A and B are shown apart, each in its own frame.
Chain A
Amino acid sequence: MKNLLLLAVVALLALTPAFAQNEKYLQAMTAALQTFQQQTSGEPDAAAMQELANRFERIGAAEPNEWLPRYYAAYAYGTLGFSGDNLRTKDQYLDKADALLKEAERIPSQQADELAVMKAYITQARLAADPMSRWQTYGAQFGEYLAIAKKSNANNPRIYYLEGTNLFYTPEEYGGGKKAAKPLFEKAMEKYAHFQPASTLHPQWGKEHTRWFMEQCNQ
C-alpha cells in the first residue's frame, strides 16, 4: 500500500510539468487572444499591437510544436504592416510576418487554409504599402493565396472577407467598389454562420469586420 501510494505520488509529480505546460499554453493563449480581440475590434494601437505580437512570439518560442502563436503573431505584424510609418518599416514588419508563417507551415498540426488566408492578408498589406508599383506582383499573388485557401477549405469565411475588402478598396473604374464587394461580404457572413473553429484558440476573427463592411456597402 505504501509503495503503491508512493508510486502514485511520484507519477503525479512526474506528470505535473507536462500538465502545467499544456495548462500554461492554454492560459497564455486565452489571455493573449482576449487582448487580441480587443485590439482588432477597434482602431489598433501600434504599441499595443507590438506588445501583442511579442506575447504570441514568446509563446511560440516556448512551444515549438504550436502553429497558432506564430499565426497570431503574423496577424499582429500584418496589422502593423498596414499602419507603419513608412514603406521601409512596413516591409520590415511584413518580412517578420512572412518568417513567422514560414515557421508555422513546418508544424504538422497547421491548417493550410488559415495559413494561406494569412499570407493573402500579408500580401494585401504589401500591396497597400505602394499600390502603384506593387499591383502587378502582389495583386496577382493575393489572388493565388486565396485560391489555395479555397482549394483547401472553401467554407473558410475569411477568404471571402478578404476578397471583399480588396474589392471594397479598389476604385469602381477598375472593377471594384461597394457594389462589387457586397456579395462577397454576404457570402462571408453566410459562411461565418456555419463556421466552427477547431478549438477556442483556433482562428475565428473577421465576423465583426465583415458586418462593419456590409454596413458601409449599404450606405
Chain B
Amino acid sequence: MKLLYVLLLIGLATTTQAQTLVSGKVTDRKGHALPGANVFLKGTYDGTTTDTLGIFRFSTFEKDSATVAVSFVGYEGFEQKIRLLGREVPLVIKLAEAASELNTVVITAGAFEASDEKRMAMLKPLDIVTTAGAAADITGAMQFLPGAQRVGEQEGLFVRGGSGLETKVVIDGMIVQNPFFSSLPDVQQRGRFNPFMFKGTSFSTGGYSAQYGQALSSVLLLHTTDRVSNNGLGVSLNLANAGLNYDHVGAKQSVSAVAYYGNLKPLFALVKQNVDWLRAPEFVGSSLTYRLKTTPHGLLKVYGMYSDSRLSMNTRDPGRESGQTKLDLTNRNAFVTSTYTDQWADGRWLLNTGFSYSRNADGMTFDGLGFDRFDERTQARAVLTRQLPGNSTVLFGAEVHAIRLENGVEGVLYSLQDNYSAAFVETEIYLSRQLAARLGTRAEYSSLLNRFNLAPRLSLAYKTGPYSQVALAAGQFYQNPDYRYLYLNQNLGFERADHAILNYQIIKNKRTFRIEAFYKNYAQLVREYTGQAFDANPYRFPWGRTDNAGYGYAQGFDVFWRDQKLVKNFDYWVSYSYVDSRRLFQQFEVSATPTFVSNHNASLITKYWLEKIQTSLNLTYAFTSGRPYYNPNHEYFLRDRTPPVHLVSLQASKLTSLKGNFVVLYASLDNVLNTRNVFTYRFTPDGQTRYAVGPQSYRSFFVGMQIYLSKKAKVDKADL
C-alpha cells in the first residue's frame, strides 16, 4: 500500500510541477519584428503566434528540456534547444529569409525570357502574340526585342551582327530544320509555328547554355504547352485562311488537331502588292498534338505537322534583259517531334528526352530551270539533370543528328550527308543567394567535316541589391559552314564565334530596366575566292575556291525599359540596340560591315486594354537605321547606306460572344503611315540602273476571327 501512495504522489507531482514561461521576440536578420510567426515546442501542443511587435509568450508543463521551433512563411525554419526549469526563458530569435526567386540571383546574361512561370521573365507569352506589327508570328515579335536587327527582305533572326543562319530555332530541345516557310527572293517569310503552341520562349542573344550548339549568334528556345484549357471545336477565319481546331482533354491524355486551308488571293486583291504574283500562295496544312501523362510526373508529347503550298511569281532579276525571272515553287514539309520527360526521387533526378524527324521538299524552277531543294533531319536527344542541395544542378546530355541535303542548281543536283553528334555537361552552382555560376562544356563532331570541337561556356551572376543584379557570360560557339559551301568543298572546318556579355538589370514595382553590352569575335569564317568582281545576287551558287580564313567582330549594347505601372491597363516597352560589326568573309576582299547589319534599331511597343469593351489596342513603332548595300559604281566596298526604315503598326483584338460562343475578333493595320521603306538596292550588271527592294506591300491591313464553338470554352485575354 505504501508503494501505491508513492506512485500516486509521483503522479500528482508531475501534474503540479511549475509551469515554465517561454517568451521573447522574433525578428528578421535586420531586427524588424515579424508578427504572425508560429512559435512552439516541438512535439507538444504548447505554443503561440507572435503579436504585432513580434513578441511571444506562452507557458508549458514540459520539464527539463525542449526544442523551440519557429516557422513563418517566407523565412527559413528555426529550432533551438532550451532548458525548462520553472524560470522564464527569454529568447531572441532571428529568422533568415528563405530562398526565393526574388531574393536569389538568376543567371540572365544574354537571355531574354517570356514566361508565365518565371518571375524574372521580362515578358509573358501573351505579350509576344499581341505585339502589333508582328502578325502573330513569333520571330516577327522577336525582331522588336533588344539585340535583334530587322532585315525586311529575308526571314530569320539577325542577332547582334549575326546573319539569319546563325540563329537556331529549338522546340523542346530539338533543332527545327525549317522554322520558316520556304525562302523566296526578297520576300520575308513567316514562321511555321502557331504561337499559341508555346508556354514559354527564351530568346538568347548570346552566351547561351552548353545544352545548345550549331548557332554562332543565338538560339530561340520554344517550350510547348503541357496541357490545353479548351475542350471542343474552334473555327478560325481570316483574310488569308480558314481553319478548324479541335481539342479533347481526358484525365491522363489530351489531343489537339488543327486543319487549315489558305489562299492569299483575296488578301492580295485588297492590299496592293509590290511583288508580281503569277499565282498567289495557296496552302493546306494540318497538325496533331498528343499528350499522355504516363506517371504523376511523366509526360509524353508527340507533335506532328504537315503542310503543302504552291505559288508562282516574277522576281526582279537585274541580271536579265527582261529584268525579271519567273519562279514556281511547290513545298511539302513534314515535322514530327516527340519528347518524354519524367522525374524521380522527389524531383532530384530529371530526364528530358526527344526524338524528331523533319522532311522538306521544295520543287522550284527559275524560268523552267530546276532548282529543287530537299532536306531531311533525324535527331535524338537525352538530358539527365540532378538537383543538388541549395538550388544547384548538374546535367549531362547528348544528341545525334542525321542530316541529308540536296540542292539542284540549273538542273545539276548536289547532295551531302552529315552525321552530327554532341555531348555536353553543365553545372549551375549557387555559391550564395547573391552569387551563382554556370559552367559548361560542349563537344561536337561532324562526320561531313570530319572534325571535333570543344566549346567551353561560362556564366556568372551577382545580386547587387534586392531588385538588381549584374551578370556576365562568355563562351565559344561553333557552327558548320553554310551547307551551300560544303557541296563543293568538304575540307572546310567549323566556323567559330567567341562571346563576352555584361548585363545589368533591375526589376522593381512592375518596372524593368536592363542594359547589356557585348563583344563577339568571329573566326574561321568561310571565305570564297572567285577572282571576279563582287556578285551581289543573294541567290548565287558559291562556285569559287573556299577556305576558313575569314574573321570579324561585332560589338555594341542594348537597352530595354518596360513600365506597367504608369497608367492602369497600359503597358509599354522600349528597346534600343546598337551594333558595330565588320567582317572579312564570303566574297569580301576587304573587311566591311555586312549588308544585314543596321547600326541602330529601336522600337516602342504599347498595349492598352479597354476593360469596358473587352478590347486590346496595341501600337508598335520601329526604327531601323540604314544598311550597307553594294554599289558597283564605287571603288570602295559596301559603304553606301540605304535610308532608314520606319514602321508604325496598329492592332486591335476584341473579345465578344456570338450566340453563346466565345469569339475573338482581331484587326491590324501595318505601316500606318504608308512609308515607302527600302531594305536594299540592286544594280544591273552595267551598274547603270538601280532597283529598290522593299516590302511585299506598303500599308496593309488584316482582319480575322477565332470562334470557340464548345459551350464549355472558357477563354480570356490570355488566349488572345
Contact B42 A92 (CB under 8 A): no
**Complex Cα gap A59–B38 (Å):** 12
Measured between beta carbons, the chain A residues less than 8 angstroms from B199 are 136-137
Q: Which residues of chain A are near B38, meaning CB under 8 Å?
A: 53-54, 57-58
Give the distance to chain A from B116, nearest Cβ to Cβ, in Å: 5
Residues of B within 8 A of A61 (CB): 40, 42-43, 69
Residue of A51, A139, A172 touching B229 (CB-CB under 8 A): A139
Interface hits, B223-250 → A, CB 8 Å = 225, 227-229, 249
Q: Is A201 an interface position by the 8 A CB rule?
A: no
Residue of B nearest to A63 (CB): B45
Taken residue by residue from 267 to 310, chain B's Cβ proximity to chain A (1 for < 8 Å, 0 otherwise) reads as 00000000000000000000000000000000000000000000
Among A92, A170, A171, point to the contact of B73 (Cβ < 8 A). A92
| Contact of A137 with B44 at beta-carbon distance under 8 Å, contacts A61-B69, A176-B714 already known | no
In the assembled complex, which residues on chain B have CB atoms less than 8 Å from the CB atom of A59? 45
User: Cα distance A57–B151 when bound, in Å?
Assistant: 60
Q: What distance in Å separates the Cβ of A8 from its nearest Cβ neighbour in chain B?
A: 10
Given the known interface contacts A47-B35, A58-B38, A133-B126, the answer about A92 and B116 at a Cβ–Cβ threshold of 8 Å is no
Q: Are B124 and A136 in contact (CB under 8 A)?
A: no
Taken together as a complex, chains A and B put the C-alpha atoms of A54 and B58 apart, in Å, by: 14
Q: Which residues of B contact A174 (CB under 8 A)?
A: 655, 662, 713-716
Indicate whether A93 reaches chain B with its CB closer than 8 angstroms: yes
**Distance between Cα atoms of A210 and B133 in the complex (Å):** 47
Given A13-B7, A93-B73: A175 in contact with B42 (beta carbons within 8 A): no
Contact with B along A36-58 (1 / 0, CB 8 A): 00000000000100110111011
Question: What CA separation (Å) do A133 and B44 show in the bound complex?
Answer: 43
A10 touches B7 (CB 8 A): yes
Contact pick for A136, options B100, B225, B614, B656, CB 8 Å:
B225
A28 in complex: contacting residue of B7, B45, B52, B711, CB < 8 Å: B45
Q: Give CA–CA (A147, B48) in the complex, Å.
A: 38
The answer to whether A173 touches B73 (Cβ under 8 A) is no
Determine the main DSSP class of A at the interface with B.
Answer: helix
CB-defined contacts of A24 to chain B, threshold 8 Å: 45
Inter-subunit contact B711/A173 (CB<8 Å): no
Of all chain A residues, which has the CB nearest B199? A136
B1 close to chain A: CB less than 8 A? yes
Task: For the complex formed, measure the closest distance between the CB of A207 and the CB atoms of chain B, giving whole angstroms.
Answer: 26
Partner of B1, one of A2, A54, A58, A139: A2
Query: Closest CB-CB distance, A159 to chain B, in whole Å?
Result: 15
| Least CB separation from B48: chain A residue | A54
Q: Chain A contacts of B225 at CB under 8 A?
A: 136
The smallest beta-carbon distance between A31 and chain B, in angstroms, is: 11
Question: Contact between B718 and A132 (Cβ–Cβ < 8 Å)?
Answer: yes
Whether B49 and A51, one on each chain, are in contact in the complex, defined by CB atoms closer than 8 angstroms, is yes
Closest partner residue, chain A, to B121 (CB atom): A133
Q: Which chain A positions have C-beta within 8 A of B656? A: 173
Residues of A within 8 A of B69 (CB): 61
- Complex Cα distance A172/B662, Å? 10
State A185–B8 Cα separation when bound (angstroms).
58
CB distance from B499 to the nearest CB of A (A): 31
A57-101 toward B: CB 8 Å interface, digit per residue (1/0)?
111011000000000000001000000000011001100100000
For this complex, into which size category does the number of interface residues on chain A fall? 35 or more
Closest chain-B Cβ to A69's Cβ sits at a distance in Å of: 11
Find out whether the CB atom of B73 lies under 8 angstroms from the CB atom of A135. Answer: no
From residue B194, how far is it (CB to closest CB) to chain A in Å? 14
Complex CA gap A93/B225 in Å reads 26
Chain B residues in 8 Å Cβ range of A172: 657
Cβ of A131 under 8 Å from chain B:
yes
Assuming the contacts A47-B35, A136-B199, asked whether A175 and B714 have C-beta atoms less than 8 A apart, the reply is yes
Q: Does B47 contact A (CB under 8 A)?
A: yes
Q: Is the CB of A136 within 8 A of B714?
A: no
Consensus secondary structure, chain B interface? loop
Instruction: Check if A18 is an interface residue, CB within 8 A of chain B.
Output: no
Does the CB pair B40–A58 fall under 8 Å? yes
* C-alpha spacing A10/B714, complex, angstroms: 66
Whether a CB of chain B sits under 8 angstroms from the CB of A6 is yes
B567 at the interface (CB under 8 A from A): no
The answer for the CA separation of A57 and B49 in the assembled complex, in Å, is 11
Q: Contact between A137 and B116 (Cβ–Cβ < 8 Å)?
A: yes
Interface pair A131/B716, CB less than 8 Å apart? yes
**A198: CB under 8 A from chain B?**
no
**Partner of A175 from B35, B44, B74, B711 at Cβ < 8 Å:** B711
In the bound assembly, the distance between CA atoms of A140 and B1 in angstroms comes to 71
Chain B CB within 10 Å, residue with most, of A10, A136, A140, A144: A136
| B86 is an interface residue with CB less than 8 A from chain A | no
Q: In chain A between 17 and 40, which residues have their CB closer than 8 angstroms to a CB of chain B?
A: 24, 28
Segment 11-52 of B: residues with Cβ below 8 Å from A? 11, 35-38, 40, 42-45, 47-49, 52
Any A CB within 8 A of the CB of B102: yes
B1 nearest in chain A by CB position: A2
Contacts of A47 in B (CB 8 A): 35-36, 52
Q: Which residues on the A side are within 8 Å of B116 (C-beta)?
A: 133-134, 136-137
Residues from chain A with Cβ under 8 Å of B410 in the complex: none
CA of A154 to CA of B133, assembled, Å: 50
B58 smallest CB distance to A (angstroms): 10
Chain B's closest residue to A2 (CB) is B1
| Alpha-carbon gap, A180 to B74, bound state (A) | 38
Q: For A107, list chain B residues within 8 Å (CB).
A: none
Q: How far is the CB of B49 from chain A (nearest CB, A)?
A: 4
Contact A147 B4 (CB under 8 A): no
Interface: A5 (CB within 8 A): yes
Query: Is A140's CB under 8 angstroms from B229's CB?
Result: yes
B124→A133 contact, CB < 8 A: yes
Across-interface contacts of B251 in A (CB, < 8 A): 144, 147
Known interface pairs A5-B4, A9-B4. Does A170 touch B40 (Cβ–Cβ under 8 Å)? no
A-B contact pairs, 14 of them (CB 8 A): A16-B11, A24-B45, A53-B38, A54-B37, A55-B49, A57-B71, A62-B44, A132-B126, A132-B716, A135-B229, A140-B227, A174-B662, A174-B714, A175-B713
Closest 9 A/B residue pairs (Cβ)? A54-B38, A50-B36, A51-B49, A133-B116, A135-B718, A54-B49, A58-B40, A140-B229, A174-B714
Residues of B near any A CB (own CB < 8 A): 1, 3-4, 7-8, 11, 35-38, 40, 42-45, 47-49, 52, 69, 71, 73-74, 100, 102, 116-117, 119, 124-126, 199, 225, 227-229, 249, 251, 614, 655-657, 662, 711-719
For the A-B complex with A2-B1, A58-B38, A141-B227 known, give 10 more contacts whose Cβ atoms are closer than 8 Å: A47-B52, A61-B42, A77-B73, A92-B74, A131-B718, A136-B227, A140-B227, A140-B229, A174-B715, A176-B714
Interface residues of A, Cβ cutoff 8 Å to B: 2, 5-6, 9-10, 13, 16, 24, 28, 47, 50-51, 53-55, 57-59, 61-62, 77, 88-89, 92-93, 96, 131-137, 139-141, 144, 147, 170-176
